[in-house]
Amino acid sequence: MKKIAITGIGIVAPSGIDKKVFWANIKAGRSEIKTIDRYDAQLYPSHIGGQIHQLDAYSHISSRLLQKIDPFSHMALIASEMALKDAGIDLTKENLNHIGIFMGNALGGWLYGETELRDLYIEGREGVSPYMASAWFPAAPQGQVSIYYGIKGYSKTVVSDRASSLMAIGHGAKVLGKDKLDFILAGGMEAPLSPYGLLCCNTNGDLSVDNEHPESAYKPFDKNRAGFVVGEGAGIMIFEPQERVQARGRKPYGYITGYGTTCDGVDRIKANPDGKELARAIRMALDDAGYKPQDIDYISLDGAATIEGDVSEAAAIKDVFGSRAAHLPVSAPKTMFGNLLGASGAVDIIITLLAMEHSLIPPTLNLKDVDPRCAGLDYVREKARPAEIHKALVISRGRGGINAVVALEKVK
């Protein structure tokens, strides 16, 4: 893959709405997983999650527009504005026909959808907002960002369960590498904590029901794991070709250098425990980047906190890295704020870029007793670890055996 520079970051997450606040909480290992208090969720099997508070306080969006969009589009607009400002881009000086938008999410905008469906059954069709059709569907954030800024270049939304945003980022980087666009906005967003959204997440059977201990409920690779904890948020980045970044005199956070994706092809929901196809996706990303396994300094884990997910992820890493796997730092920072589903890959990339910048590997929380089937990896646990990260991998996976891997490189 042609090296693609990442020059701007926009983050909206339970750990912070702003990269400085977000990173301060991540490096400190603070858990933001709490009991859901937005409505009475006590009857749900799992009623804990990573919530975002004070979203409106950071918003540049008019109240009129907010009435027409779901929170997942709202978060995408805030993160996009942050990313553009962070990259120092003035859109009035850009060719809007040559800018792309590549985004991913898993569920769409359910708060808006379920509210309007309620009104349909109570008031009839006259009670339904005309914006219902355009507010809930998964491509709505891409459309809203396009409309807000007048961006008209080739764009795409990817819906691929928890792998959505990482796949959107990989595809967007490939398109940008073909010189089809000047730059792109890439990332993901998710707002699954609405009443119906949370119900859908609960029905898949993969959520932790340790409601009495929310901060310690998400424990991937632990033999006492009980599933992941869901969260909401958005992560958007600016991707530019190296030549353009040099011409602008900007220093990027890092480069995306490789991408690989495969499917297990075994079960409609569960990953194949042997991890062979994930291992192949890792090798594809390494080959695409021109890296050898020994070049990698850190891996950001998917951390599904399910038996099949954890065992297959550990098996894949040991398959690819052999004896070095025992000395290669790995972690799942999402244990601090929840699994953001389709947005998780984008947020994991942002965390990895900040880890590179600050030479600090963020920890996995709650990993006390490693499952023997997942042993043999160098898990960074409970506390951040100082380390130089020059090259890294980010893994994101979806139900049905979807595997996506991105390779990143620090700016020299």
Q: Which helix (H) or strand (E) holds 378?
A: strand 378-379
d(Cα 398, Cα 164) in Å, to the nearest integer?
8
Nearest to 306 by CA among 392, 234, 398: 398
Q: State how far the alpha carbon of 377 is from the alpha carbons of 83, 301, 358, 371, 390, in Å.
A: 34, 11, 23, 11, 19
With 90 as the cut, is the pLDDT of residue 127 above it? no
Q: Is the dihedral of CA 229, 342, 395, 184 positive or negative?
A: negative
Q: What is the rounded average pLDDT of the residues 305-325?
A: 97
What pLDDT is attached to residue 7?
98
Strand 402-410 to strand 391-398: parallel, antiparallel, or no bridges (unpaired)? Answer: antiparallel
What pLDDT is attached to residue 229?
98
- Angle, in degrees to the nearest 10, between helices 110-123 and 195-203: 110
What pLDDT is attached to residue 132?
87
What's the mean pLDDT when you consider all of the chain?
96
Helices (H), 88-150: 110-123, 132-135, 140-149
Token code pair at residue 342: 């389709």
Domains (ranges, CATH) in the chain?
A: 4-248 (3.40.47.10), 257-405 (3.40.47.10)
What pLDDT is attached to residue 103?
98
> In 24-55, which positions are buried (b, 16+ CB within 10 angstroms) versus exposed (e)?
ebbbebebbbbebeeeebeebebbbbbbbeeb
**Contact in structure between 341 and 347 (CB atoms under 8 Å):** no
pLDDT, one tens digit per residue, over 346-388 is 999 999 999 999 999 999 999 999 999 999 999 999 999 999 9
**Contact in structure between 381 and 219 (CB atoms under 8 Å):** no
Strand 233-241 to strand 254-263: parallel, antiparallel, or no bridges (unpaired)? Answer: unpaired
What pLDDT is attached to residue 363?
98
- Beta bridge partners, 52, equal none
Token code pair at residue 371: 């499952």
**Contact in structure between 251 and 370 (CB atoms under 8 Å):** no
How many C-beta atoms lie closer than 10 Å to residue 360's C-beta? 19
Q: Which helix (H) or strand (E) holds 258?
A: strand 254-263
- State percent of the chain over pLDDT 90: 92
Q: State how far the alpha carbon of 196 is from the alpha carbons of 108, 142, 229, 290, in Å.
A: 12, 23, 16, 44
pLDDT band at 126 (very low <50, low <70, confident <90, very high): confident
Amino acid found at 6: I
Longest dimension (CA), the chain: 65
pLDDT, one tens digit per residue, over 289-304 is 999 999 999 999 999 9
d(Cα 289, Cα 78) in Å, to the nearest integer?
31
For residue 150, the SS3 value is coil
pLDDT, one tens digit per residue, over 37-67 is 999 999 999 999 999 988 888 788 899 999 9
**Contact in structure between 259 and 382 (CB atoms under 8 Å):** no
Strand 254-263 to strand 329-331: parallel, antiparallel, or no bridges (unpaired)? Answer: unpaired
Q: Is the dihedral of CA 342, 344, 347, 348 positive or negative?
A: negative
What pLDDT is attached to residue 143?
97
In whole angstroms, what separates CA 334 from the centre of its chain? 9
For tokens 């929901």, the residue is 269
Nearest to 305 by CA among 268, 267, 339, 344: 339
What pLDDT is attached to residue 54?
83
- State percent of the chain over pLDDT 70: 100
pLDDT, one tens digit per residue, over 175-219 is 999 998 999 999 999 999 999 999 999 998 899 999 999 999 999
What pLDDT is attached to residue 2?
94
With 90 as the cut, is the pLDDT of residue 125 above it? no
Q: What is the DSSP letter of 177?
A: H
Phi-psi region of 40 (alpha: psi -120 to 50; beta: other; left: phi over 0): beta
Please give the model's pTM, rounded to 2 decimal places: 0.97
pLDDT, one tens digit per residue, over 132-178 is 888 999 999 999 999 999 999 999 999 999 999 999 999 999 999 99
Token code pair at residue 83: 């990313």
> In 121-147, which positions are buried (b, 16+ CB within 10 angstroms) versus exposed (e)?
eeeeeeebeeebebbbbbbbbbbbbbe
